[in-house]
């Protein structure tokens, strides 16, 4: 039998046994680690949620260019194709005056008064428009400038543009983006602080668990065990603790995200926490499991080091 394999196997078995026989101490460290990993997990979900919200808001930003009722469709489409060639532009949607009217009627289908007023007008009061969507919200400025400077907008000296709604939307959008960015930063700061505190607690718990075993370590040294051989089982126990806690967290996240999702989906603008967990399970699994293994392993190495001197 290969020597290293034999040692490896013994270290594994010994670490596993002392985890199982650890009783209350093992249970306490698993519990503490579970709390720590839950906080790290909530960091993942918080990040996903805020990113989603920010993207949703960014998606809502667009610039609408309204054309005077006399503008020819060909002229408008010419502007459209010019805009589409700009590198900052993601998409341009053309809404004809008729389409706008249909949409307006649909939107006010229950509002008889408005519809009656519209009918009495006799003709279509609505403008044709182009909805321009930029690749990045910061590019709207340059797009608007382009539109304002463009000669294609003037047919025979008079501008065919009625109005560009950018300025009025801009302020609201900017404020909202700022608020979300601030929330994100504060939220992250708080959660990272919690994560840091609970990592310290997890470390301290493992240190205590190993402190309990310090006489045992002294005996192992006297019996002639090498440092690596003494250390190994404790690291294995630490890693088993981390893995057990990680599994507990990953299991608990199913009901937790489902419950939280039901309560908050509407509020978070359609973001489903449970859905996110389902679709990103491998990512969450990897982060939580790796955190558990590293936390348990590193804490054990650090804790035992001082009993191995001399």
Partner 1 sequence: MIYFDKVTKQYGDMAALEDVTLSVAPKEFVSIVGHSGAGKTTLLKLLLAEERPTDGNVFFESVDVNDLPSSALHHYRRKIGMVFQDFRLIPNKTAYENIAFAMEAAGRTDDEIASDVPYILELVNLADKTRHFPDQLSGGEKQRIAIGRAIINQPELIIADEPTGNLDPINTYEVVEILKKINELGTTIIITTHNKGIVDAIGKRVITIDRGRVVRDDVDGKYVL
Among residues 74, 106, 222, 282, the one that binds partner 1 under rule CB under 8 A? 222
24 binds partner 1 (CB under 8 A): no
211 binds partner 1 (CB under 8 A): no
135 binds partner 1 (CB under 8 A): no
Q: What is the four-CA torsion angle of 9, 14, 20, 26, rounded to 10 degrees?
A: -110
1 binds partner 1 (CB under 8 A): yes
Among residues 114, 165, 227, 265, the one that binds partner 1 under rule CB under 8 A? 227
Among residues 146, 155, 216, 252, the one that binds partner 1 under rule CB under 8 A? 216
Given the rule CB under 8 A, which of 14-22, 122-130, 169-177, 253-261 is the region that contacts partner 1?
A: 14-22
Among residues 15, 18, 133, 203, the one that binds partner 1 under rule CB under 8 A? 18
44/209 with CB nearer partner 1: 209
Q: How far apart are CA 178 and CA 170, in angstroms?
A: 12
Q: How far is the CB of 310 from partner 1 (least distance, A)?
A: 6
DSSP result, 131-146 = EEEESSGGGHHHHHHH
User: What is the CB-side half-sphere exposure of residue 298 using CA atoms within 13 A?
Assistant: 10
- Cα separations in angstroms, 127 against 68, 99, 146, 170, 299: 6, 10, 21, 21, 67
Helix, strand or coil for residue 100? helix
87/224 with CB nearer partner 1: 224
Q: How far is the CB of 30 from partner 1 (least distance, A)?
A: 17
Give the closest residue to 248 by CA, choosing from 46, 32, 43.
32
């Amino acid at each position: 039998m290969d020597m290293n394999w034999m040692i490896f196997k013994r270290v594994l078995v010994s670490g596993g046994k002392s985890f199982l026989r650890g009783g209350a101490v093992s249970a306490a460290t698993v519990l503490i680690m579970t709390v720590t990993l839950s906080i790290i997990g909530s960091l993942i979900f918080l990040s996903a949620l805020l990113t989603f919200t920010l993207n949703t808001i960014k998606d809502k930003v667009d610039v609408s260019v309204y054309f005077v009722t006399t503008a020819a469709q060909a002229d408008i489409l010419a502007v459209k194709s010019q805009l589409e060639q700009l590198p900052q532009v993601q998409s341009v949607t053309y809404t004809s005056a008729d389409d706008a009217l249909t949409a307006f009627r649909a939107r006010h289908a229950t509002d008889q008064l408005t519809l009656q007023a519209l009918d009495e007008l006799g003709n279509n009061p609505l403008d044709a428009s182009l909805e321009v969507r930029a690749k990045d919200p910061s590019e709207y400025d340059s797009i608007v400038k382009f539109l304002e400077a463009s000669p294609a907008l003037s047919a025979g000296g008079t501008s065919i543009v009625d109005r560009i709604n950018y300025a009025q939307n801009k302020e609201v959008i900017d404020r909202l983006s700022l608020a979300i960015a601030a929330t994100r930063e504060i939220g992250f700061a708080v959660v990272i602080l919690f994560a840091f505190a609970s990592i310290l607690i997890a470390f301290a718990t493992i240190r205590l668990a190993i402190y309990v075993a310090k006489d045992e370590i002294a005996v192992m040294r006297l019996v002639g065990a090498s440092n690596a051989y003494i250390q190994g089982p404790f690291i294995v126990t630490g890693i088993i603790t981390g893995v057990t806690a990680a599994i507990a967290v990953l299991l608990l996240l199913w009901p937790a995200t489902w419950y939280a999702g039901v309560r908050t989906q509407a509020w978070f603008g359609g973001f489903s926490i449970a859905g996110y967990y389902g679709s990103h399970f491998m990512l969450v699994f990897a982060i939580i499991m790796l955190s558990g293994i590293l936390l348990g392993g590193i804490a054990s190495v650090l804790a035992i080091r001082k009993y191995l001197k001399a």
